[in-house]
Amino acid sequence: MPTSKTWLIAGLGNPGPEYELTPHNLGFLAVDRFADRHGIRVTRKEANALVGLGEFQGTPVVLVKPQTYMNLSGPSVRALLDRYELGPDNLLLVYDELALPWLTLRIRPKGSSAGHNGVQSVIGSLGTQDFARVRIGIHPGHPVEGIRHVLSPIRKAHWPELDELRDLSASVIESVISEGVEKAMAKFNRRAQGEKEEEK
């Protein structure tokens, strides 16, 4: 059964074509795939973000792609929550996670930024870390320099996997909306090999 709860689904990334297909933009790419599936245009300019209004199975959704660059995402997300009269419990933040292996993801009901500057900006602007998030793994499985890796274009050889990951991310967003965070966690969360216990 659909719920009456409105979700603000914010994908994190960097604006501009040079960043479009980088690991750091998986939040944008996941929101775009969800939007494509449900005929939502994320083109409205509000609060330094691109915004799309629609619904999924009767539940209203506000899709958001802050255009302030990753590390300054928080004020845009906060402004849009205020504009649509929503709170942190209505927020689903979608972003890349270097601590997780490529092609894996984790849903969490709340938690720290774990060093992710975009997430830290949102936590700082909201004054709480109690909001749901989808963390999309981008670690390639071999040693990398973090900043260089997250901002380097994804190689064409990996585009089929990227397409698969975007579909999975969109399915996870759909599950959170239709079934709630806890059921989505039970359905999609899988412990990756070698992954450390997450910080609570």
- Per-residue pLDDT tens over the stretch 27-55: 999 999 999 999 999 999 999 999 999 99
Residue 38: active-site member: no
Q: Are 187 and 118 in contact (CB under 8 A)?
A: no
pLDDT class of 197 with cuts at 50, 70, 90: very low
Instruction: Give me the domains of the chain, ranges plus CATH numbers.
Output: 7-188 (3.40.50.1470)
What integer pLDDT is reported at residue 100 of this predicted model? 93
**Percent of the chain topping pLDDT 70:** 92
Is the model's pLDDT at 165 over the cut of 90?
A: yes
pLDDT (mean) for 133-147 = 86
Distances from the Cα of 109 to the Cαs of 24, 52, 185, in angstroms? 21, 24, 9
Distances from the Cα of 35 to the Cαs of 89, 108, 125, in angstroms? 21, 22, 26
What integer pLDDT is reported at residue 35 of this predicted model? 98
pLDDT (mean) for 115-142 = 95
pTM, full prediction: 0.92
Phi, psi (degrees; rounded to nearest 5) at 126: -85, -20
Is the model's pLDDT at 190 over the cut of 80?
A: no
**Distance, CA of 13 to CA of 96 (rounded, Å):** 9
